[in-house]
Chain A
Amino acid sequence: MDEKMEIRQGTLALMVLRTLESMGPLHGYGIARRIEQTSGDLLSLNYGTLYPALLKLEQEGWIRSEWGVSDNNRRAKYYRLTRAGLRQVKRETMEWERTTAILARFLAPQKGTP
């Protein structure tokens, strides 16, 4: 398993939201790096897909953006979670856990049946 996995459709949004929830405000590059690190560098993130996703989340009202200054004095756009976004993270996390739990049962080695 040398190859890195592509991110599945629909999961990127949740990853972004979770990242912002645990890390607080971050700029785009910071979010991308953090997602890669969290995955243990197993995921390959096409950075270009991150920005449309961020715009979508902002349109949904789950995150907000504002311009700020980074540690090394660079102007960057920082994203942070809104209260609606926080609720959304909780909701989606729960749904995701249930889905994976169900999928896990299907994927577990089948016993008893031929």
Chain B
Amino acid sequence: MRTLRSWALRLTDLFRKGRRDRELAEELESHLHFHIEDNLRLGMSPDEARRRALLALGGVEQTKERVRERRGFPWIHDLIQDVRFGVRMLFRHRGFTLVVLTVLGCGIGACIATFEIVNTVLLRPFPYHEPNRLVMLWERTSQEELPTSYLNFLDWRSRNRVFRHMAAYRTDDAVLTGAGPAERRQALVVSSDFLATLGVRPLLGRDFLVEDDRVGAEPVVVLTHALWNGMFHGDSAILGQAITINGKRAVVIGVLPEHFEFPAGGDLLMPLSTIAERLRSRGHDTGLLVVARLEDGVSPERAGAEMGSVMAELVQSHPEALAGRRLALATLDDFTFGDLPRTLWTLMGAVGFVLLIACTNVANLQMSRAASRRREVAIRNAIGATRGRVIRQFLTESVTASLVGGLLGLGLARLLIHALAVFGPGNIPRLSEVSIDTRTLLFTLGVSLLTGVLYGWIPALQMSKPDLSSLLKESERGSTPGHRSLGSALVVAEVALAMVLLIGGGLMIQTFWKLRRVDPGFVPQRLLTLQAMLPAREGEGGRLRAFIEVLRSRIRSLPGVHDVALSDGLPYIGTNQVPITLDDAAAKSGESPIALMYVTTGNYFEVMGLAVVRGRTYSASDGPAAPRVAVIDEALARKYFPGADPIGHRLGLGTDTPTPSMEIVGVVRHVKDRGMDERAQVQPQFYLALDQVADDVLPDLLGSAHVIVRAETDSPSLAPAVRGALNRLDPDMALFGVQTLEGLIADTMTPQRFSLLLLLVFGLLALVLAVVGLYASMAYNVSLRRQEIGIRMALGAQSSDMFAMVLRRSLRLTGIGLAIGAVAALALTRFLSGLLYGVSSSDPRTFLAVALLFTLVALLATYVPARRAACVDPMTVLRCE
């Protein structure tokens, strides 16, 4: 209560300055009046009475000033003064300021960037009802993770007793036409209780109903808020209207709330009934994932156990389709983020550590300037500044610098996040949503303040000592060896840390280099590809076939085009993964074989530059009426026909076919269609002739076809011409995904590129820190040893000796740091080996190169302090004694 009143009084003092001044003037006037009256009563003359009264008061104006100083918050006054002074000091010592701001900006920036990611990705729960009660279900074999089928989902749902709601979904391309140019978006194709499971209600319109799940129901669609706002201008009249998705009409029945998000993405929701024809098999021709809400009191573990036995029953009753399958279950958080939380928190800790190192560096740097500020502190003390006041002023200075550093850091963090979004691995959920919010700003402010106090504290305490010269002498006599050895240990640690990171970066650079030279199995140069939504309507397979022929001849006639092929899938983008049957007895062991299927025109192999290893590819003579043929790749041949000639054997689609229908006529090279580094999983591939695919399957298979163009000279420049030709052929045909095969291959190296970026960024940051640390430590050392150096030189030592002495000391520290760093790198780069390619994690050339680079940089950093040592004038030093 008392303090409250006091604050209120101070605050009104601040804002009612004029009135307070008038009151004070009146009060003093009445004071004088009383005094003068008393004096007159004592018998003084009026003049004398007035003079005495004024004298006793000690001057009206002085008194007013003294009262004014006490009003409001006097420390605010001091603070403003200190900040002004701090900024002036920062401007005066530009070089010093630049180094300090760089180091602080880097340290704080890395901290902020990491915090922003943690904040956005981890600290914000999913916008669903009780999101921690949601789990994900899928299937796995001993080798891989698999989505489930619609039939399995239905059985899971009817047989379980542990879930309140259960919904299946998959993501599909959705090409929207009719409203301006065709746009490719992502559809979440869901079972009708999807939104009910998440506990989300549409903002407008209605949720899906059970009727929407029936095969043959009228196609409907629910839009996300973003899509509704963007493409349909937020017009609620869209409800009840039909839009065109993948060439089919669907009625808009609802719009989702603005904050809705789903880890798998999705711009619109459609019921599974719209793809009913692809959901008939228990195998996994059209994979689904399942999200479910746990019944009250059921733990994820219990649900996992119970669903595991449900799955086991299913496998027993459908052995041909589900052999070797087991159930997989994880909470939505674990499924979405996996190891990310641990990684991010570790990163946060590491970045905090880096900031700490940065602080110590700057503190060291500050100390090395102690001598130059000796006079300033002495003068301040002489004119009556208390030690506390001097400390406060030094701290204000360091906090001012750290706040500016924080601002720089905020900018740097934006850059880092942007780089992460561009070069990142693309599997960090919500990264696109990272933005500066209040929490980030508060964090920045907090970290900056803390940093300023942290690095400013020790120098402030030391430099504010009333007799600084004695401090310097003390240090000269080596009475604080603790500080010096601590500083040295720090420099060694910094060098070691930077060494480890830079070696990691060096290894990644070589990996990158090697990966670019890997033979992908075909000739990616001069290949241009795009996806086209062919006018494929059900039951019109014959017309589609004719359309494809026209399309190919139009493109082939373009100047600069060598040849053009069509395919249902493409390496790096994807194709159908299907179960197959082989006639060979050896292939029937264990799990049912699965392979990637490409349905292509006959010239696909020539266009792609895919070499034939054995036998032949299909040609014009393998028409619809001819016996059906298949071409397999080396991987399939190796896996299922080891040591035998696969040619003449038979291959069938699916597991339900009693006799495999196709004859294997050729073997081609394996295409590294997941990326250049295929150690993890080689998936067998096989090819079928487009001409031999039945008319009724064709529209579904080629709804979105890949057009692959081999150019005579240069592929990217052909894109507009190809686009133009296709537009003239059918203006309604949606075209997207125009890319070169070389570009697609480059995209597969994203994980390596990302690690490279991270390692280089942090490696350079560590290098900067180590160099500043080395410089600061040497400079401090030289400033402490000026006298010793002076005496040595007076006794006959040469400048060059002093120069060499400093260099030796610096190189010794660097050397120890490099040795420790090399050992640590040997131990740590093992963890990188999963990302490395064609280079050993203990590659001696990389180690040597980094060590050399470091030694060079260390020499540069030591040059200035060493020069300073060499330039000490013995006379000046001795005279100071």
- Does A49 lie within 8 Å of B30, measured CB to CB? no
Q: Does B588 contact A (CB under 8 A)?
A: no
Chain A proximity mask over B11-54: 1 for CB below 8 Å, otherwise 0: 00000000000011011101101110110000000000000000
Chain B residues with Cβ below 8 Å from A72 are 37
Answer whether residue A96 sits at the interface, using C-beta atoms and an 8 A cutoff: no
Q: How far, in Å, is B777 (CB) from chain A's closest CB?
A: 45
Query: Is A30 in contact with chain B by the CB < 8 A criterion?
Result: yes
Q: Are A59 and B9 in contact (CB under 8 A)?
A: yes
Decide yes or no whether A95 CB sits under 8 A from chain B.
Answer: no
B62 at the A/B interface (Cβ < 8 Å)?
yes
Q: Which A residues are in CB contact (< 8 Å) with B33?
A: 74
CB distance from A43 to the nearest CB of B (A): 13
List chain A residues, Cβ under 8 A from B3.
61
B27 pairs with A61, CB closer than 8 A:
no
A90 close to chain B: CB less than 8 A: no
Residue of A28, A29, A61, A70 touching B6 (CB-CB under 8 A): A61
Q: Does A10 lie at the interface of the complex (its beta carbon under 8 Å from any beta carbon of B)?
A: no
- Size bracket, chain B contacts: 20 to 34
Cα separation A33 to B34 with both chains bound (whole Å): 10
Binds A, one of B65-73, B173-181, B238-246, B812-820: B65-73
Asked if A94 is an interface residue, CB under 8 A from chain B, the answer is no
Main secondary structure of the interface of A (DSSP, over half): helix
User: Shortest distance in angstroms between A88's beta carbon and chain B's nearest beta carbon?
Assistant: 10
Instruction: Indicate whether A52 sits within 8 Å of B34 (C-beta atoms), given known contacts A28-B27, A47-B56, A84-B2.
Output: no
Complex CA gap A72/B37 in Å reads 10
Contacts of B59 in A (CB 8 A): 48
**A29-B35, A59-B9 given; A51·B28 CB < 8 A:** yes
Find out whether the CB atom of B10 lies under 8 angstroms from the CB atom of A48: no
Q: Is the CB of B23 within 8 A of A61?
A: no
Considering the complex, which residues of chain A in the window 63-102 have a beta carbon less than 8 Å from any beta carbon of chain B? Answer: 70, 72, 74-77, 84
Q: Is B97 an interface residue (CB 8 A)?
A: no
- Smallest Cβ-Cβ distance to A53: which chain B residue: B70
A27 within 8 A of B: yes
Asked if B66 and A49 sit within 8 Å, CB to CB, the answer is yes
Does A55 belong to the interface (CB within 8 Å)? yes
Counting CB contacts under 8 A, is B58 at the interface? yes
Q: Determine the distance from Cα of A5 to Cα of B37 in the docked complex, in whole angstroms.
A: 25
A58 at the interface (CB under 8 A from B): yes
A76 and B5 in contact, given A46-B58, A49-B58 (Cβ under 8 angstroms) = no
Partner of B30, one of A46, A52, A60, A75: A75
Report yes or no: A76 in contact with B67, Cβ–Cβ below 8 A.
no
Most buried by B among A33, A46, A49, A55: A55
Are B9 and A58 interface neighbours, CB within 8 A? yes
A74–chain B nearest beta-carbon distance, Å: 6
**Contact between A56 and B37 (Cβ–Cβ < 8 Å)?**
no
Contact A30 B10 (CB under 8 A): no
Q: 0/1 per residue, B426-459, Cβ < 8 Å to A?
A: 0000000000000000000000000000000000
Bound together, the chains give a CA A27 to CA B295 distance in angstroms of: 77
Least Cβ–Cβ distance between A64 and chain B, in angstroms: 9
Is B63 among interface residues, defined by CB-CB distance under 8 A? yes
Other-chain contact of A77, B30, B69, B70 (Cβ < 8 Å): B30
CA distance A51 to B35 in the complex (A): 15
- Chain B contacts of A28 at CB under 8 A? 27, 31
Given contacts A58-B9, A61-B5, contact A48 B30 (CB under 8 A): no
Tell me the complex Cα distance, A60–B31, Å: 23
Query: Would you give 17 A-B contacts (Cβ < 8 Å), ordered by A?
Result: A27-B31, A27-B34, A30-B34, A46-B58, A47-B63, A48-B57, A48-B62, A51-B27, A52-B63, A52-B69, A52-B70, A55-B67, A59-B10, A70-B30, A76-B27, A76-B34, A77-B23
Given contact pairs A48-B62, A49-B66, A59-B70, a sample of 6 additional A-B residue pairs in the complex whose CB atoms are under 8 Å apart: A29-B31, A30-B34, A51-B67, A55-B70, A59-B10, A84-B2
For the complex of A and B, list the 10 residue pairs with the smallest distance between their C-beta atoms, beginning with the closest: A48-B58, A61-B2, A48-B63, A29-B34, A76-B30, A47-B57, A29-B31, A77-B27, A52-B66, A52-B70
